[in-house]
């Protein structure tokens, strides 16, 4: 175990390989299999953890590969993952997604491919910039005849001008030679923008695993995989609603050369690949929040004049019976050195002037989103209903409004927030849920909530399709029309319905709702909801800032 102290003493030197200003907690050495299991370090002798920016090292595995003399090489490599490639969870996620696109049916291998790709950049930097013995580390791991391993090692031979056979084993095929040449140029061309080469690298790797549909059994390869669970213990990353995919070698129309929009299932798969153990509601919440942020718009607010301001106009005689704290002692003393209550005492006199202060009173949002079987599942595919709801709800929260969200499907089948709240996470977790059952609008929620006017005005917004007619056609013990009319009147902030209607002009319930005061927004498809979410606020509130 003596080498551990040596490695600990070289930690600062390893940090300086990247910069004099890099600060990370010292590497953690694991001395037993139980410690390795607890930390999730199984097949590899080193790993990183982005949650606490730690480097983990297996003492036993380092000894088994006889790597005790390579402190700077290994420590510098692991630090490189933290400060260079990938650097953070969002960049790691982008690389995983791009690799998934390039390797259909083999997505379970993409974390490994991403790891190998990142290692190429880090090792090439350490070899060329710091002249470390990176090739000797691989020699310690040993040669083998595995085609993928030889392709990987041949790439290093070309990068570092090593003779053929230094790291490779046996006669190399023309395909391996060609692939290694392409990748070596790729590493040199994109040293600071490695996302540009990820698709091409994964596409080159794909045949090595697809032809036999078998994962490489190489222990050497597995011992190098130090970023597989880099996201363990972390929340899903943000900033991944769209990822740009570039390709010089394998351009695919509609895939490369443009920004790809991730689906919720893509996002969930990426999180799983990085070791993020989050439930589906947490992942879906983060996904729709990211999708909504670029579209946020101002929300309705009531602007009123502030309270009148007092202005000092002078003094008058203070008489007994008036509160003693009103006496202006300074002015009274100036008037007469001898204080005689009721004769020499004075008090201040104030008038009123208009206030320049504007009091903002946000209008709360009561949002009802149809979640019946005719609607998409927001946890699997992009749901424009959910996205529009997220845009409007988050816009409301920005101005201080409170929001109640209700997902509704069949009879007595609904999910709602705990009243009107300002917790965006709880709001979006309800909004991103799914029932997929029948259709029956929850009249009981309107009836119970609007028995009397709320303290602040509210706007009721309903997103649905032709199923909105269940608002009046369901078998309810009291008159639905009276309940709906009363809710609209008591809310005092208006009501809107955005509806995908098959026959907009032939739905008697919709016509009746419009005549009774509801603003009806018919749409042709769910993508129109994005435009609606912006027009909705612009039409009703931004042009008319003062509401009465």
CATH code of the domain made up of 363-542 = 3.40.50.410
Angle at 209 between CA 207 and CA 213, to 5 degrees: 115
Angle at 540 between CA 536 and CA 542, to 5 degrees: 95
Give the lowest-confidence range in 59-73, 316-330, 351-365, 460-474: 351-365
The model's pTM is 0.79
Q: Is 85 helix (H, G, I), strand (E, B) or coil?
A: coil
Give the lowest-confidence range in 200-204, 343-347, 442-446, 533-537: 533-537
Mean pLDDT of 468-484: 94
The model's confidence at residue 423, banded by pLDDT at 50, 70 and 90, is very high
The Cα 94–Cα 99 span in angstroms is 9
Mean pLDDT of 171-198: 93
Confidence at residue 548, expressed as pLDDT on a 0 to 100 scale? 34
The Cα 253–Cα 373 span in angstroms is 33
Separation in Å, CA 88 to CA 22, 92, 231, 238, 291: 15, 6, 9, 11, 20
- Residue showing tokens 């013995």: 133
The Cα 534–Cα 30 span in angstroms is 54
- Residue showing tokens 């391996």: 176
Query: How many Cβ atoms sit within 10 Å of the Cβ of residue 250?
Result: 14
Whether the pLDDT of residue 45 is over 70: the answer is: yes
DSSP string computed for 491-505: HEEEEEEEEE-SSGG
Percent of the chain residues past pLDDT 70, beyond the cut? 90
The Cα 186–Cα 225 span in angstroms is 21
**155 vs 40, which has greater pLDDT?**
155
Q: Is 224 helix (H, G, I), strand (E, B) or coil?
A: coil
Whether the pLDDT of residue 471 is over 90: the answer is: yes
Q: Tokens for 202, please give them.
A: 């994964």
pLDDT digits (tens, 9 = 90+) for 338-397: 888 877 888 888 776 665 555 556 889 999 999 999 888 999 999 988 998 998 899 888
Confidence at residue 504, expressed as pLDDT on a 0 to 100 scale? 67
Confidence at residue 547, expressed as pLDDT on a 0 to 100 scale? 38
- Nearest-CA neighbor of 294 among 237, 241, 244? 241
The model's confidence at residue 531, banded by pLDDT at 50, 70 and 90, is confident
- Averaging pLDDT over each range in 134-138, 228-232, 270-274, 347-351, which range is the top one? 134-138
**Spacing of C-alpha 183 from chain mean position:** 32
Percent of the chain residues past pLDDT 90, beyond the cut? 56
**260 vs 541, which has greater pLDDT?**
260
- Residue showing tokens 């080498």: 3
Query: How many Cβ atoms sit within 10 Å of the Cβ of residue 311?
Result: 9
Whether the pLDDT of residue 539 is over 90: the answer is: no
- Nearest-CA neighbor of 362 among 393, 389, 386, 388? 393
Question: What values do phi and psi take at 68, rounded to 5?
Answer: -60, -25
Confidence at residue 528, expressed as pLDDT on a 0 to 100 scale? 85
> Which runs of E-coded beta strand occur in 167-222?
none
pLDDT digits (tens, 9 = 90+) for 124-183: 999 999 999 999 999 999 898 899 999 999 999 999 999 999 999 999 999 999 999 999
Separation in Å, CA 74 to CA 82, 167, 392: 13, 18, 50
The Cα 258–Cα 254 span in angstroms is 7
Q: Is 195 helix (H, G, I), strand (E, B) or coil?
A: helix
- CB of 187 closer than 8 Å to CB of 84: no
The Cα 215–Cα 220 span in angstroms is 13
The model's confidence at residue 1, banded by pLDDT at 50, 70 and 90, is low
Whether the pLDDT of residue 212 is over 60: the answer is: no
The model's confidence at residue 463, banded by pLDDT at 50, 70 and 90, is very high
**Spacing of C-alpha 10 from chain mean position:** 37
Mean pLDDT of 462-470: 92
**178 vs 336, which has greater pLDDT?**
178
Q: Which helix (H) or strand (E) holds 259?
A: strand 258-261
Q: What is the mean pLDDT of the chain?
A: 87
Domain ranges of the chain: 89-222, 308-354, 363-542
Give the pairing of strands 458-465 and 492-500: parallel
Whether the pLDDT of residue 261 is over 60: the answer is: yes
Whether the pLDDT of residue 537 is over 90: the answer is: no
Give the lowest-confidence range in 168-182, 273-287, 520-534: 520-534
Q: Which helix (H) or strand (E) holds 270?
A: helix 264-273
Q: Using the 8-state DSSP alphabet, how is residue 540 labeled?
A: I
Q: Tokens for 404, please give them.
A: 């109640």
The model's confidence at residue 207, banded by pLDDT at 50, 70 and 90, is very high
């Amino acid at each position: 175990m003596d080498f551990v102290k040596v490695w600990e003493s070289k930690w600062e030197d390893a940090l300086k390989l990247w910069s004099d200003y890099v600060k990370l907690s010292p590497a953690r050495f694991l001395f037993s299999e139980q410690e390795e299991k607890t930390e999730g370090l199984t097949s590899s002798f080193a790993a990183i953890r982005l949650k606490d920016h730690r480097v983990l090292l297996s003492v036993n595995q380092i000894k088994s590969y006889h790597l005790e003399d390579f402190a700077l090489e290994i420590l510098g490599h692991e630090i490189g993952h933290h400060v260079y490639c990938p650097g953070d969870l969002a960049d790691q996620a982008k690389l995983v997604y791009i690799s998934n696109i390039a390797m259909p049916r083999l997505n379970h291998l993409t974390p490994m491919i991403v790891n190998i790709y990142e290692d190429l950049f880090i090792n090439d930097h350490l070899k060329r910039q710091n002249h470390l013995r990176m090739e000797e580390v691989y020699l310690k791991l040993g040669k083998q005849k595995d085609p993928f391993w030889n392709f990987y090692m041949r790439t290093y031979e070309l990068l570092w001008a090593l003779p053929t056979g230094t790291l490779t084993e046996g006669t190399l095929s023309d395909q391996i030679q060609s692939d290694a040449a392409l990748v070596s140029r790729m590493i040199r061309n994109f040293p600071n923008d490695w996302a540009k080469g990820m698709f091409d690298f994964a596409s080159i790797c794909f045949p090595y695993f697809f032809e036999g549909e078998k994962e490489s059994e190489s222990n050497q390869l597995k011992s190098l995989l130090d970023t597989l669970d880099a996201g363990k213990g972390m929340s899903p990353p943000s900033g991944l609603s769209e990822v740009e995919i570039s390709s010089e070698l394998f351009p695919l129309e509609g895939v490369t050369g443009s920004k790809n929009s991730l689906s919720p299932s893509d996002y969930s798969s990426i999180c799983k690949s990085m070791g993020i153990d989050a439930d589906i509601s947490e992942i879906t919440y983060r996904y729709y929040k990211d999708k909504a942020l670029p579209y946020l718009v101002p929300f309705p607010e009531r602007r009123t004049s502030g309270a009148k301001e007092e202005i000092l106009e002078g003094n008058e005689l203070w008489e007994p019976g008036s509160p003693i704290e009103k006496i202006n002692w300074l002015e009274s003393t100036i008037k007469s050195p001898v204080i005689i209550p009721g004769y020499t005492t004075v008090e201040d006199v104030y008038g009123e002037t208009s206030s320049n202060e504007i009091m903002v009173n946000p209008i709360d949002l009561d949002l009802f989103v149809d979640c019946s079987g005719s609607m998409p599942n927001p946890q699997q595919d992009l749901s424009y209903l959910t996205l529009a709801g997220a845009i409007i709800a988050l816009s409301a929260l920005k101005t201080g409004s409170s929001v109640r969200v209700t997902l509704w499907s069949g009879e007595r089948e609904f999910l709602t927030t705990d009243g009107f709240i300002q917790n965006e996470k709880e709001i979006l977790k309800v909004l991103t849920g799914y029932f997929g059952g029948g259709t029956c609008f929850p009249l009981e929620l309107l009836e119970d909530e609007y028995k009397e006017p709320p303290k602040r005005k509210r706007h009721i917004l309903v997103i649905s399709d032709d199923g909105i007619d269940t608002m009046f056609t369901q078998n309810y013990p009291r008159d639905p029309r009276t309940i709906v009319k009363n809710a609209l009147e008591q809310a005092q902030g208006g009501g809107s319905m955005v509806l995908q209607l098959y026959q907009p002009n032939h739905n008697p319930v919709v016509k009746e709702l419009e005549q009774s005061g509801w603003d009806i927004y018919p749409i042709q498809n769910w993508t129109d909801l994005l435009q609606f979410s912006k027009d909705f606020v612009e039409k009703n509130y931004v042009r008319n800032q003062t509401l009465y």
